[in-house]
Amino acid sequence: DTIGLRVRGYHTRRLWEAFTAGTFGGSIGFDRAFGEHLRVGINATLETVRVRDIDPNAPRLVWDEEGSNELRALGADIRWFSLDRPYRPTEGVDARAYYELFGGPLAAAPTSSAPA
């Protein structure tokens, strides 16, 4: 049995027709192998989304999200794999189920930087 650590950081910028959205975040997770083919893991994610450069004709939904918003999430996954090789496999199965909880008890206080 082995225990693994997953650390991920990212920054994205998406240019939509009516606005620009930027994301800055990261996650940390742990997983454990049970035998040769089964792996179970948990992770936590923290992400900041910034919506700006909004078109004056954008839907109200977009305007409601203007500024910076923080998102938190907890996740769990289970994976079954029996591949003949991890890179470019020719036979076997790689199946994964994932559940993620965000908002609710994990909700962050609004950090909107939009002008009042």
Q: What percentage of the chain carries pLDDT values higher than 70?
A: 88
Q: Do the beta carbons of residue 58 and residue 17 sit within 8 Å?
A: no
Q: How far is CA 18 from CA 23, 72, 76, in A?
A: 17, 26, 34
Give Rg (Cα) of the chain. Answer: 19
Closest CA to 42 of 88, 2, 73: 73
Reported as a single tens digit per residue, the pLDDT across 35-85 is 989 999 999 999 999 999 989 988 888 888 888 888 899 999 999 999 988
pTM of the model: 0.71
